[in-house]
Structure 1
């Protein structure tokens, strides 16, 4: 990826020199049916600071394009051959005051999910386009000063095939011209380049509105016509209106844009993107088959997350990408708070999901060699591109949740309200938000910010309890530890201030019921808790009850013994989730043997009512058995898990979410002839499970396992693809083909991803997912050497998204051995990879190292 980077210093110098006023962007998409390139004409007006200009040698505008036809600066033609190099057009002859630049170029459609992505639906053979600009990809569509603090207004004019829908940040106008194929959009408010958007094609649309505070905001939902029958627009509108109601109350600032469209688009790399007034989502959120309630909860959180960005991120935007965490963490925190607190919410226990999934992600990320402070040091675009991680999203949101507990929810949102009013349409740094919160809460947040946002790593909290002969607590303290950071990580271990709750639980009628709760500040190495002394010791003391802080929590021996026997018996979902998360963390840290973790899950999961927790446990058990179990006992553990999954599938309530979840869990690990025969029977209809709908997506899950075990081949895959001749079917078929246990299938999958560069992003991802099968370690062993031979070239030649898929997805994660670590170390020492690639490979190496440690612990316990 040569020539596309931008350093923080370059961005600061450019912002010192100029202020951007407006863009007029004309795009001709009339040839979209043929693909290739499209004509882009950009006129940008900007002001140059005369004092800054006197010491500058000029500046540049960003553009990634095959061809620049013309560049005219202040009426003077520039020679494209001289001024256009890599991703920049040099602007050597600026004048103080107003400048005008016009750039005419041919820009390229992509199939990588970056810039202007072009997709042809196999169902109707129609082209569908959408933009994805975060972080630096507006420059793939129009010439722009590509950094978040150079905001401007944007006026788009689009020529597209007659009959298409064209959507952007401003309301869609009536098409003009004899062919009704020119759309002239009104200018946007002042926004950053990365949140501008264009979506075009023969999309299906549904419209409604939100009404409140004397205002009507038009709402739109779009998807491809081939998905229209599955689009549950009413449910999506309901969540959206709930978010509008709650956010406008809490933010005390009117929704900043004229309309709000939500567009479900194909082959999208992320979950969604907060384009101003035109949010794009991956269209897997339009569910073609039955899914559990956990999927609807996840979609709801994503919808609310993107809506929160309309204020935090779009109205008020970070100055530079080191505050990306604040954008994402704020949206994550407020989306889940909305799910919990909004009247009539379907998911009032959303903090359980947060603790069980997002915080688990954060804890994992924070123990990698690449761990970094929440407020990361983002030196350039390459840094930020690999920083959409568990610290940026989940640890940051966890810390915001702690901050809310620290300053008070009312005070927090009062500060946020001041922040929006004070900085509307501008750019800010972290201190701007903290300053507003200090005003409304009266707390000095300087020390808090330094400890939590400027240091890396995770703390461990342990209870220290003493009792007398009668069982009365005579001493209770919380010990805080700051473990050494992983080898290679920057920084020093840090003890932090924590706001936590401690819950006391008793067994009543076989259920663990909270009988007391104490909330306090924990700071330093040891914090006494006198409020818990002088009373009879309960069955369980649970630190960080209600999940207020971000820390790894350990149970004392007596509490651990009770929880081990009764984990599924907590009456509330959140303490169960916290206990499950602690057990999983102990397994990953080699403090709990994999076999013991399996025992714990099998004893408690049958009592777990939260479907999201159940599905997380399914994933974690499978991962533990495949990577953390001692190799000699791996197969026995997987067989035991498969038998348990089948038993629970048959015992589950017909048609329930739990039944579907157990069906998928069983399909993922079925291994005996009888088990695989059942999968084949469910697929061809000779076997049934009462209430289980073997619909399109479940059929593919069954077939993919049969293909991976050699029980199905090309004939069966082709027949299923004919049955599901959609883009989703094509992806599923690609996974199944790559999963086949033959040298030929692996060679073809490898060649299609690594040796050729033609697959769309979503299909490449599907092939990689099928290629790596945990039952095929010996078959995949030769690809370790091949990976290290090509990964640097791939990184340098492919776009970021495509290269990252390969660098992470094809790393030999399944080859858990010292040889893999040695091969990685040799490559890191000799290949001189870029910092971003080095980070990704180092993270993958850490996974193998952790697995080796866990396998040794499992062997010692066995």
Structure 2
């Protein structure tokens, strides 16, 4: 049995064999309100094509048990085809439909369908969190980023709850005699399994709207929602969240030239979240510590705004266009980190955000890059277990700093035009790093492969050491910077020895060091560390 892990090779083989047309997921969450809740019912219908009729493949599902499996109208024995993490599908046809009726477990650790009981009023709150591969804890799926499909969710839950998904609500909830109700949602656009979402519970929801009129006269209206649990509503400053949201949508529309593609834009602040936030299209989830219970510093508001904009950048880079496999996890996170900081500085009241980026995010990256666990930005991710270990300061902050350098290298106009071509060319599909670099090479005329080798495929930091030589008159006659780093020693690219005065960009004058007697020393002063 392979267990819960999935290798890159298995994913490639499955993606070459299958094309997923649609998912329909029905969840019955009524059991959540019990003191000791039983597993909830999850019924998934998947329609997909197979390029080689007669071949075999598998669905991913991590669940206590499976009640029934039907493939193309043929009942399969759950005990024979389900091993606890996979459902084997043999003798596939060219066109297939599989229905899986399962009992899935509520989570207390943030993976899958998390259940929280509010200690203040006893109310139950649910939300999902899937990255990188925990959708399979809620419904049966081909759990990998490059098998995108539209998702249609139907949720049955207590009737007084607020229930949301990534798609818009399709009509009013259907009420039942037992006090429950069923919410049906419109199909999503094609998305990856890990960015689907459900939020359910007696959440307080505040509403607003964003409007945008484009140059060709088209008008875009995006319904906005902000949610938190009921006992925190008195602290919730939704107006500030909406202000940053609207500023961000304006900024990204100006720069990406691609209308927000996901219909509505809900942002839910949820309890016991084990990460900062998640970019589920149309239903972004955040840790509820961003609902401030009292007076906080401007830095706290800036951090929240930065996270809001980071997740918003993912609506295009990560959701609209998604990496093929987790090797390029860094790319979506680095892009969102960079664009979030840029939007924060240029579209909101936090105009000094690049200083914050240098002091917080880059400092995080420097620390991570000097540990024994450091790795190149483009890490080798052979399986899901490796992907889980790669959410770190290198993936996010070092990558973002390198993208900032890339913008300087190709020029901001060329970078943004490259991003616009990338979104339009690959919308609702999957890509690799090479696809983005190809777009940037077109718009800038630069050799992106050489840049990628230098900046993305090496690990660790460089040490830059200025070295000065003085004449008898205590004047600098030669100034140079020596670079030492993992696998390299010598003069930095673009740096030259500078005689008589420090003319090179690689070195700047520093106070002369002195010997204990006060005599000027001819030794070099300590260099500063610079990240590759």
The residue that corresponds to 1:155 in the other structure is 152
Which runs of no fewer than 5 residues in structure 1 stay unpaired?
A: 485-492, 498-521, 535-540, 545-554, 562-581, 587-862
The residue that corresponds to 2:285 in the other structure is 280
Q: How many Å apart are 1:527 and its aligned residue?
A: 3.0
Q: 1:242 to 1:465 in 2, by over 3 A?
A: farther
Q: 1:196 to 1:494 in 2, by over 3 A?
A: farther
Q: How many Å apart are 1:215 and its aligned residue?
A: 1.3
Write out per-residue CA displacement over residues 312-366 of structure 1, whole angstroms, 9 at most, x where no aligned residue. Answer: 0000000000000001000000000111222xx2221111111111111111111
Confirm or deny that 1:165 pairs with 2:118.
Answer: no
Work out the CA distance in 1 between the residues paired with 2:327 and 2:512: 41
Number of residues paired by the alignment? Answer: 508
Write out per-residue CA displacement over residues 180-239 of structure 1, whole angstroms, 9 at most, x where no aligned residue. Answer: 711110100000000000000000010101111221111100000111111111111111
Work out the CA distance in 2 between the residues paired with 1:462 and 1:306: 39
The residue that corresponds to 1:537 in the other structure is none
The residue that corresponds to 2:91 in the other structure is 93
Report if the CA contact (8 A) 1:495-1:523 is conserved: no
Work out the CA distance in 1 between the residues paired with 2:16 and 2:380: 20
Work out the CA distance in 1 between the residues paired with 2:6 and 2:192: 16
The residue that corresponds to 1:102 in the other structure is 99
Q: 1:408 to 1:560 in 2, by over 3 A?
A: farther
Match of 1:216 among 221, 226, 239: 221
Q: 1:178 to 1:33 in 2, by over 3 A?
A: closer
Q: 1:298-697 maps to which residues of 2 (within 5 A)?
A: 298-342=303-347, 345-466=348-469, 474-482=477-485, 484=486, 493-494=487-488, 522-523=492-493, 526-528=495-497, 533=502, 558=511
Work out the CA distance in 1 between the residues paired with 2:265 and 2:490: 41
Report if the CA contact (8 A) 1:31-1:38 is conserved: yes
Work out the CA distance in 2 between the residues paired with 1:22 and 1:532: 67
Q: How many Å apart are 1:478 and its aligned residue?
A: 3.0
* Greater relative contact order (Cα < 8 A, sep 6+): 2
Work out the CA distance in 1 between the residues paired with 2:490 and 2:143: 37
Q: 1:124 to 1:453 in 2, by over 3 A?
A: same
Work out the CA distance in 2 between the residues paired with 1:31 and 1:559: 73
Report if the CA contact (8 A) 1:455-1:494 is conserved: no
Report if the CA contact (8 A) 2:502-2:509 is conserved: no
Which runs of no fewer than 5 residues in structure 2 stay unpaired?
A: 214-218, 515-526
Work out the CA distance in 2 between the residues paired with 1:448 and 1:381: 28
Write out per-residue CA displacement over residues 601-627 of structure 1, whole angstroms, 9 at most, x where no aligned residue. Answer: xxxxxxxxxxxxxxxxxxxxxxxxxxx
Q: 1:217 to 1:418 in 2, by over 3 A?
A: same
Report if the CA contact (8 A) 1:361-1:394 is conserved: yes
Write out per-residue CA displacement over residues 793-818 of structure 1, whole angstroms, 9 at most, x where no aligned residue. Answer: xxxxxxxxxxxxxxxxxxxxxxxxxx
**Secondary structure of the structure 2 residue equivalent to 1:160:** strand
Report if the CA contact (8 A) 1:459-1:495 is conserved: no
The residue that corresponds to 2:267 in the other structure is 262
Q: How many Å apart are 1:471 and its aligned residue?
A: 7.1
Report if the CA contact (8 A) 2:314-2:336 is conserved: yes
Match of 2:68 among 56, 67, 70: 70
The normalised TM-score by structure 2 is 0.91
Match of 1:46 among 42, 48, 61: 48
Write out per-residue CA displacement over residues 730-759 of structure 1, whole angstroms, 9 at most, x where no aligned residue. Answer: xxxxxxxxxxxxxxxxxxxxxxxxxxxxxx
Report if the CA contact (8 A) 1:39-1:107 is conserved: yes
Match of 1:83 among 81, 84, 103: 81
Q: How many Å apart are 1:476 and its aligned residue?
A: 3.8
Work out the CA distance in 2 between the residues paired with 1:560 and 1:263: 56
The residue that corresponds to 2:518 in the other structure is none
**Secondary structure of the structure 1 residue equivalent to 2:460:** coil
Work out the CA distance in 2 between the residues paired with 1:165 and 1:412: 41
Q: 1:531 to 1:76 in 2, by over 3 A?
A: farther
Report if the CA contact (8 A) 2:476-2:499 is conserved: no
Report if the CA contact (8 A) 1:451-1:494 is conserved: no
Q: How many Å apart are 1:130 and its aligned residue?
A: 0.1
Q: How many Å apart are 1:268 and its aligned residue?
A: 0.1
Report if the CA contact (8 A) 1:42-1:104 is conserved: yes
Report if the CA contact (8 A) 1:155-1:188 is conserved: yes
Work out the CA distance in 1 between the residues paired with 2:169 and 2:488: 52
Q: Name the Cα RMSD after superposition.
A: 2.4
Report if the CA contact (8 A) 2:306-2:341 is conserved: yes
Q: How many Å apart are 1:430 and its aligned residue?
A: 0.1
Work out the CA distance in 2 between the residues paired with 1:278 and 1:287: 21
**Secondary structure of the structure 2 residue equivalent to 1:249:** helix
Q: 1:20 to 1:495 in 2, by over 3 A?
A: farther
Q: 1:698-777 maps to which residues of 2 (within 5 A)?
A: none
Q: Which has the higher helix share?
A: 1
Report if the CA contact (8 A) 2:482-2:490 is conserved: no
The residue that corresponds to 1:14 in the other structure is 14
